Amino acid sequence: MAEAPGSSLLSAYRAVTSVVAPPLSPLILAWRVRHGKEDPEHCAERRGIASRPRPEGPLVWVHAASVGETVSVLPLIGRILADGRFSILLTTGTITSTQIANARLATMSAEPGRAIHQYVPHDGPHFVRRFLDHWKPGLAIFVESEIWPNLIVETARTGARMALVNARMSDRSFRRWLKRAAMIRALLSRFDVCLAQSAADAERLVALGAERVVDTGNLKYDAPAPPADETARNRLAAELGERPRWLAASLHSGEDEPALDAHRALAERRSGLVTLIAPRHPERAPEIEAAAAARGLKTAMRSRGEAIGPDTDVYVFDTIGEMGLAYRLAPIVLMGGSLVRHGGQNPIEPAKLATAILHGPNVHNFADVYAALHDAGGADEVADAGELAGRVGHFLDSPDDVARHAKAANTAVAAYAGALDRSMEAIEPLLAVAAKGA
């Protein structure tokens, strides 16, 4: 496919990355390996070198950035696999998403080798071409806002059908892309269809040059509640006993301190209080342990197999794929990424698990979801450690109010289900083409 008219910035990007990506990629990978952000055994995949053979027959490639996008698209992958015509290649870009993807994909296909995970290649033309030459997808599905120029252009050149699913375009991203209008138009116009999370996302995508946009809704509403190991749940529940507890989930750097300060304030008149903390990035666990120790609090780490003892104040879920377990142990949750300027983390999972939800003021990543929760009375906003302690304290003292909030949250997210069916209907024509072209 020829370059779209007026996309000089895209052409410049492709020219520069063709030169700088090969020498820079090893340096970037080495730095990421040293900092625990890359799996050294799979670095070659980042250069487009496959570590698995391609299955025979038609293949659908799905690319999701990280954990949230991966979890949201797994039901769609399940539907495509159930069709029986296709194998699936799922690519992601983080260690945590890879661990979750491998665990979930292993249970989704009865036929070994039909559901495969690889790391996404770096966005250099040579790496992407090598990746595509091996996998030869008939349909490429990009999730949410994964707009990588070389991935998009090179995939379009192969003749594969292309879809952007669960697409979101925040107001902030929209304003940024308006400054690069020709480039984003050249990229979005290559998709056969863009399936938007909301009417507002659809309007922004159309304004930026997407040619066929359908408002299918947010796939995250259709994702099942995260699983939990029952043996582990029973053991931790026994260790907690009747002690009051609450959960601070998906915390980012800068949010540990408010959570721990809230714990200290709450513990002054609630004997035995346990605060469960699940950091967004488990490698930050030592930071949490140090911050707790500085406040005189005793910490137990899940990764070390430490039990919740009588003197444990803080229990840290520094593991992968256990959020379902954490949510099931606490009736109250603070969703992280919201007390700092990250934009908030997805509250749909705890809403599905009958949890009273608290969050900070910064939730623009999931503005529509939080708006729905607030409209239903299923989420409350807190600004700092003081307000957090006050609201958690109220819930600890008012189980009936916890139940009302949890029910409202569950009802709110259930009302928005249906995106999975609408998304499958929208991509079915592309699947039909991919099946014939194999």
**Residue 1, pLDDT above cutoff 80:** no
Confidence at residue 110, expressed as pLDDT on a 0 to 100 scale: 65
Domain count, the chain: 2
Confidence at residue 401, expressed as pLDDT on a 0 to 100 scale: 97
Model confidence at 111, in pLDDT bands (50, 70, 90)?
A: confident
Residues 155 and 191 reside in one and the same domain: yes
Confidence at residue 103, expressed as pLDDT on a 0 to 100 scale: 87
Q: Is residue 29 part of a domain?
A: no
Residue 302: which CATH number? Answer: 3.40.50.2000
Could you tell me which residues come within 8 angstroms of residue 328 by beta carbon, excluding any fewer than 6 positions away?
228, 233, 353
Residues 208 and 254 reside in one and the same domain: no
pLDDT tens digits, residue range 261-281? 999 999 999 999 999 999 999
Q: Is residue 131 part of a domain?
A: yes
**Residue 5, pLDDT above cutoff 50:** no
The CA distance from 201 to 355, in Å, is 28
Residues 387 and 423 reside in one and the same domain: no
Q: Is residue 276 part of a domain?
A: yes
Residues 271 and 375 reside in one and the same domain: yes
CB-based burial label for 175 (10 Å; 0-12, 13-18, 19+):
exposed
Residues 409 and 421 reside in one and the same domain: no
Residues 71 and 111 reside in one and the same domain: yes
Residues 139 and 168 reside in one and the same domain: yes
Confidence at residue 6, expressed as pLDDT on a 0 to 100 scale: 47
Confidence at residue 438, expressed as pLDDT on a 0 to 100 scale: 60
Q: Is residue 3 part of a domain?
A: no
Q: Which two tokens stand for residue 423?
A: 């998304």
Q: Are 118 and 45 in contact (CB under 8 A)?
A: yes
Mean pLDDT of 290-298: 98
Residues 200 and 330 reside in one and the same domain: no
pLDDT tens digits, residue range 200-249? 999 999 999 999 999 999 999 998 898 899 999 999 999 999 999 999 99
Residues 409 and 422 reside in one and the same domain: no
Mean pLDDT of 105-117: 85
pTM attached to this predicted model = 0.85
Q: Is residue 293 part of a domain?
A: yes
| Cα dihedral 291, 293, 296, 300 in deg (nearest 10) | 110
Residues 424 and 410 reside in one and the same domain: no
Residues 376 and 249 reside in one and the same domain: yes
Residues 120 and 19 reside in one and the same domain: yes
Percent of the chain with pLDDT over 70: 98
Q: Is residue 320 part of a domain?
A: yes
Residue 61: which CATH number? Answer: 3.40.50.11720
Q: Are 339 and 254 in contact (CB under 8 A)?
A: yes
Domain of residue 343, residue span: 230-414
